[in-house]
Amino acid sequence: MVSLPQGFPAGAEIPDVVVELGEVFARAGHDLSLVGGPVRDLFLGRQSPDLDFTTDATPDQIIAAVGGWADAHWDIGRAFGTIGIRRGGQTLEVTTYRSEAYDPTSRKPKVQFGESLADDLVRRDFTVNSMALRLPSFELIDPHGGVRDLASGVLRTPATAQESFSDDPLRMMRAARFASQLGLNVAEPVREAMTEMADRLRIVSAERIQAELVKLICGKNPRAGIDVMVETGLAEVVLPEIPALKLTDDEHRRHKDVYQHSLQVMEQAMELETGLEGPVPRPDFVLRFAALMHDIGKPKTRRFEPGGGVSFRHHDVVGAKLTRKRMQALKFDKESTRAVSHLVELHMRFYGYGDQGWTDSAVRRYVTDAGDQLERLHRLTRSDVTTRNRKKSARLAHAYDDLETRISELQEEEELAKIRPHLNGEQIMEILDIPPGPQVGKAYKFLLDHRMENGPLDHDAAVALLKQWADENP
């Protein structure tokens, strides 16, 4: 690591490979600057995961300059002016000065190469990302006050916000993401432009929107990012189910709206995430997103009851279907979609346990239905208690403590996570002397249900039970 000179935060360092690359380009007669997030992160006191550079060299000149120095290079981003480089264990990206803009009817950016660093910086998304560090001289280039805005905690654009968002509408999502990740307040002119242009986000691919949403949810303060999305209208495009919650009182009128309740549940779920060695390492997108989405079925299931009450029967099932549909529209992978929608469907399963208790059979089904989401379900269920009634809150917490204790005891006795019928399919066919077919499936289901209700049996008892069932169901 190389320490930066006076004028940068104390202890600010950059990897040796950054300085080496600057010297390589200088020898080749080209300008090179570290740019964007890595420079911003120097002033935030953190190490950036990415190393991005900008240069006056064309893609062909970049390749020529690093020949013999780089261990490997690839030009998959050549159309956008970007060449990837590997040196040792570091991956670097070098991009020709550029500006990119969207055609109003296209999802793909048009790329125009620029002629100077100043031209490149003015077309970047926000002032905090419009700083550059010239190499190898370490001269800071900050024409738009990025350092000042970082210190003030304000998110502004180098050009007008309308120009910035016309160049790339996804930048509106990035504004909400930076509110979550960096704790920056979106400047009023930027908010106004986002509100005015929110619908333009529809031309951006679902995959790009999804990537920004995941980063937002996994930020330090996702509530701030979601608030920005809802207040500017971005959420109507990306997650319309969330602003709809603002119109739905919950059944106890404990909150101004279900929207605020959902944000609180998400924050409480975050507090229950674990370290890297725990079962739910932070930041856990699946848990956080399930907490945010867990009540989205309420608007469609709201019913006004006699006496003025409000009910939301089966909102868990409806919400799971809506969650699955939304995540599919945003092109989430199947596993994440399954996990989040499954948690939404199960989030009400616990309620009633404290009032009437559960049989061992019910506990087994709870664990089996949760499957690989049990640890997340524990945390989601505990987080879904936002009542100000301390006695009720304590009673629910005690009841869930008791449920977890019973689950642990049964797991130790019966290995609940590996619950299977008393006999497998091959054994069923051998004992009953029947070929593969529907009868085997029926027998399997009978044995599984019996296992759930009554616990494990030894082999001889299981065989006798199967034969009795077969006699009764020829």
- Over residues 73-86, mean pLDDT: 87
Confidence check: pLDDT of 223 > 70: yes
Among 15-19, 227-231, 327-331, 388-392, name the one with the lowest average pLDDT: 388-392
pLDDT at 111 (0 to 100):
65
pLDDT at 447 (0 to 100):
84
Domain ranges of the chain: 2-145, 239-417, 421-472
- pTM value? 0.82
pLDDT at 250 (0 to 100):
47
Among 140-144, 161-165, 359-363, name the one with the lowest average pLDDT: 359-363
pLDDT at 37 (0 to 100):
92
Tell which wins on pLDDT, 450 or 90. Answer: 90
Q: Which CATH number applies to 2-145? A: 3.30.460.10
- Over residues 209-225, mean pLDDT: 97
SS3 letters across the chain: CEECCECECCCCEECHHHHHHHHHHHHCCCCEEEECHHHHHHHHCCCCCCCEEEECCCHHHHHHHHCCCCCEEECCCHHHCEEEEEECCEEEEEEECEEEEECCCCCCEEEEECCCHHHHHHCCCCHHHCCEEEECCCCEECCCCHHHHHHHCEECCCCCHHHHHHHCCHHHHHHHHHHHHCCCEECHHHHHHHHHHHHHHHHCCHHHHHHHHHHHHCCCCHHHHHHHHHHHCHHHHHCCCCHHHHHCCCCCCCCCCHHHHHHHHHHHHHHCCECCCCCCECCCHHHHHHHHHCCCCHHHHCEECCCCCEECCCHHHHHHHHHHHHHHHCCCCHHHHHHHHHHHHHCCCCCCHHHHCCCHHHHHHHHHHHHHHHHHHHHHHHHCCCCCCHHHHHHHHHHHHHHHHHHHHHHHHHCHHHCCCCCCHHHHHHHHCCCCCHHHHHHHHHHHHHHHHHCCCCHHHHHHHHHHHHHHCC
Average confidence score pLDDT of the chain: 88
**Among 118-127, 247-256, 331-340, 451-460, the range of highest mean pLDDT:** 331-340
Tell which wins on pLDDT, 439 or 151. Answer: 151
- Over residues 83-87, mean pLDDT: 93
- Over residues 216-221, mean pLDDT: 97
pLDDT at 469 (0 to 100):
85
pLDDT at 354 (0 to 100):
59
Say which CATH topology domain 239-417 has.
Hypothetical protein af1432 (1.10.3210)
pLDDT at 96 (0 to 100):
93
Predicted confidence (pLDDT) per residue in 325-375, tens digit: 999 999 999 999 999 999 999 999 888 665 666 788 888 888 888 989 999
Confidence check: pLDDT of 148 > 80: yes
Percent of the chain with pLDDT over 70: 92
Predicted confidence (pLDDT) per residue in 182-196, tens digit: 999 999 999 999 999
pLDDT at 254 (0 to 100):
46
Tell which wins on pLDDT, 64 or 462. Answer: 64
Confidence check: pLDDT of 466 > 50: yes
pLDDT at 255 (0 to 100):
44
Among 88-102, 104-118, 216-230, name the one with the lowest average pLDDT: 104-118
Predicted confidence (pLDDT) per residue in 406-435, tens digit: 888 877 765 655 566 667 888 888 888 888
162: pLDDT confidence band, cut at 50, 70 and 90? Answer: very high
